[in-house]
Amino acid sequence: MSAKIQKTDAEWKALLAEKGAERGAFEVTRQAATERPFTGKYEAVWTDGSYHCICCGNQLFDAATKFDAGCGWPSFSEAVPGAITEIVDRSHGMTRTETVCSQCGAHLGHVFPDGPTDTGLRYCMNSASLDLKTN
């Protein structure tokens, strides 16, 4: 996948610092790390608005699609059409579907086919990859 927005590691680090991103945001978004469950700032937030990529501002999810999956990470039933690219992830001895921002390639999390709504999906995201814009 070739992201539309490309920067050096130093540029991403500076941008994330300027935005006041969570500790570990560079490792999560640019190196596909995963934050520990129940530690992210958006895991238990239920505010109206929309969730955007912390790196480039691309709108990813409407807050109305967020639900409590009990897994320790913010979970959504539906992404904004075209906002996310899915990639087969065979790391850690598993086969999963990784989600990345379609604009800048930031690692967001994974999507699983076990969601409780009619989409059947659970977009399990790292808080460190998200920026909530309230209404």
Report whether 106 contacts 129 (CB < 8 A): yes
Q: Which two tokens stand for residue 37?
A: 């469950």
**Mind telling me the catalytic residues?**
124
Encode the chain (135 residues) as per-residue pLDDT tens digits: 566 888 999 999 999 999 999 999 999 999 999 999 999 999 999 999 999 999 999 999 999 999 999 999 999 999 999 999 999 888 888 889 999 999 999 999 999 999 999 999 999 999 999 999 997
Question: What pTM does this model have?
Answer: 0.93
Question: What's 9-134's CATH class?
Answer: mainly beta
Domain boundaries, the chain: 9-134
Q: How far apart are CA 82 and CA 85, in angstroms?
A: 7
